Structure 1
């Protein structure tokens, strides 16, 4: 069958393709203002810079004749599909986003979305994490999703409290040592 008549995916698998978990049904796509801005900047860069450049290259490559063995054309078309898929994904996630400013909780000792929490587990190991949206997830830099088991256990607890949650190794206890939020912007 000719590729011109093959329907591409509608982007249903975009979440998994970009390494992010899908948004659980019935929940909101909470994001911090900084996370929302980063995604919006990426979307605008793809639309205004990257895509037009690839379109220019593909047009140039197409004008060179035989497209079946034209590497610039083939690679360019593939890159264009990748960019379009990412644009669809970012547009969908930004449309569903509910921006939550964690600075409204500045000075409080209770854990909510956007909190930076330092805790100690039963093994005596201290960890500092910031509870962020699914799209802002970066565990190597201490940013955990608000739907993660640790974040769910910590949410609504106060500084000085101990919470328990189930891990693959069994029950663990986390003692909340410090809760912080960014300062409100003037």
Structure 2
């Protein structure tokens, strides 16, 4: 569409502007998504369905805030379950070491040292399990893409909030979390 209106895409996977997510995931990440999906289906869904039914029994639904809220939450939960079902089918669990464990690939824990000698440690994980507070960065992140295939002791220039900085890869390991 032209002008000030933009096209909204209900399904992000069909949005031509969206970048495709990598379908790789660690065994731990897959298990966490699976247990989240199971919790939503076995616990949250029946709980919300009962609340909706109870609120509907109270009469006029158009002015019933409990009904409206719980129905919205039930729909969000069902939508999340549907998304997780689809995503879990697409994912490929990486549970083996790469052919060359001396280089950075998916699942690697990498220790980087900056020019001042400060160290930081990151693991390259799938986009569904990325969490910077735990040191897990998505394999799709610009920083991760620059690290892929790099050997031990390689000097790399990576983006930082302050600009670009030079780092040395001081350790590569493929240990479980």
Report TM bin, short chain.
Answer: 0.7 to 0.9
Task: Write the distance in 2 (CA, Å) between the matches of 1:42 and 1:170.
Answer: 37
How many residues align? The count is 166
Whether 2:168 is the aligned partner of 1:175: answer yes
Q: Which runs of 5+ in 2 are unaligned?
A: 1-7
Q: Which runs of 5+ in 1 are unaligned?
A: 1-8, 15-21
Q: Which residue of the other structure, out of 46, 55, 61, is the alignment partner of 2:55?
A: 61
Match of 1:17 in 2: none
Match of 2:121 in 1: 128
The answer to whether the 8 A contact 1:132-1:144 is kept is: yes
- Assess, with a 3 A threshold, how the Cα gap between structure 1 residues 166 and 71 changes in structure 2: closer, same or farther: closer
Map 1:148-159; keep pairs closer than 5 Å: 148-159=141-152
Query: CA offsets, 1:56-86, max 9 Å, x none?
Result: 1111111111112222211110111110121
- Assess, with a 3 A threshold, how the Cα gap between structure 1 residues 10 and 107 changes in structure 2: closer, same or farther: closer
TM-score by length of 2: 0.82
Using the TM superposition, give the Cα deviation of residue 115 of structure 1 relative to its aligned residue in structure 2, in angstroms. 0.5
Task: Write the distance in 2 (CA, Å) between the matches of 1:182 and 1:139.
Answer: 18
Match of 1:24 in 2: 19
The answer to whether the 8 A contact 1:109-1:158 is kept is: yes
* CA RMSD across the alignment: 2.6
Map 1:130-149; keep pairs closer than 5 Å: 130-149=123-142
Match of 1:51 in 2: 45
Task: Write the distance in 2 (CA, Å) between the matches of 1:136 and 1:153.
Answer: 19
Map 1:101-116; keep pairs closer than 5 Å: 101=95, 103-105=96-98, 108-116=101-109
Query: CA offsets, 1:105-131, max 9 Å, x none?
Result: 499322110011100123443110010
